């Protein structure tokens, strides 16, 4: 993992489980993706999901309860496959 490359220190949170209605990567589109957010920082988040993205893949999604015009774009900077057949990711939020 690339924790030493961080510009901002992350803050661990109580795991927050949300369902993202639509999550799009560069190769596929997923619906109703269960995501557990574990840590947040000024520029990114660490989360776990059942779908697999590639390192350096750009993804787009809308967070629940945020204005439908608010599209989040980010790049996967690291990934780790877990024993539970889930994947843990570091996502760098891309600013417009």
DSSP letter assigned to residue 57: -
What does pTM read for this prediction? 0.75
In 3-state terms, what secondary structure has residue 82? coil
Domains of the chain (ranges plus CATH)?
A: 3-93 (2.40.10.220)
Alpha carbon of 25 to those of 3, 31, 83, 93: distances in Å?
Answer: 23, 11, 23, 14
What is the rounded CA–CA span in Å between residue 32 and residue 69? 18
**What does the pLDDT look like over 30-84, one tens digit per residue?**
999 999 999 988 888 999 999 999 999 999 988 776 555 567 889 999 999 999 8
Tokens of residue 69, six digits: 């015009």
């Amino acid at each position: 993992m690339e924790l030493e490359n961080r510009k901002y220190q992350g803050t661990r949170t109580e795991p927050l489980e949300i369902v993202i209605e639509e999550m799009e990567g560069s190769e596929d589109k997923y619906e109703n993706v269960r995501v557990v957010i574990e840590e947040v920082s000024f520029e990114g988040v660490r989360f776990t999901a059942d779908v697999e993205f590639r390192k350096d893949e750009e993804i787009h999604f809308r967070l629940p309860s945020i204005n439908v015009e608010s599209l989040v774009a980010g790049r996967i900077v690291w990934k780790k496959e877990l024993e539970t057949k889930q994947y843990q990711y570091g996502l760098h939020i891309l600013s417009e």
